[in-house]
Amino acid sequence: MSRPRNSESVFRAIADPTRRRILDLLRHGEQTVGDLIATLHVQRPIASHHLGALLQAGLVRQRRRGRHLMCSIDPRPLAPAHAWLSGHLARTTSRAP
């Protein structure tokens, strides 16, 4: 089971466009690693690398279902990053002419 890490690992994880695409796909529900690979059109080692980074940041959970490894999103680690971004956006928009 993955557990949330610090905001730095979350920002590092979401900095990559492939990882953001994985999160976008998982937002619609749980998927197998094979389904993610097929949708992303990447090789298994590349998908494993990106999923590993998302798991380390606590943004993705995995579980076994028979022969399949199922992936799902855990949005909780995004909360501190969201709060930080929201604070900066609020300051930026309050200064707008």
**Comparing C-alpha atoms, which of 3, 6, 77, 18 is closest to residue 48?**
18
- What stretch of H or E contains 11? helix 7-14
Per residue in 19-59, pLDDT tens?
Answer: 999 999 999 999 999 999 999 999 999 999 999 999 999 99
CB 58 within 8 A of CB 2: yes
When pLDDT is cut at 50, 70 and 90, the band that residue 5 belongs to is: low
Domain ranges of the chain: 7-94
Fold of 7-94: Arc Repressor Mutant, subunit A (1.10.10)
Sign, CA dihedral 2-54-28-79, equals: positive
69, 31 Cβ separation under 8 angstroms: no
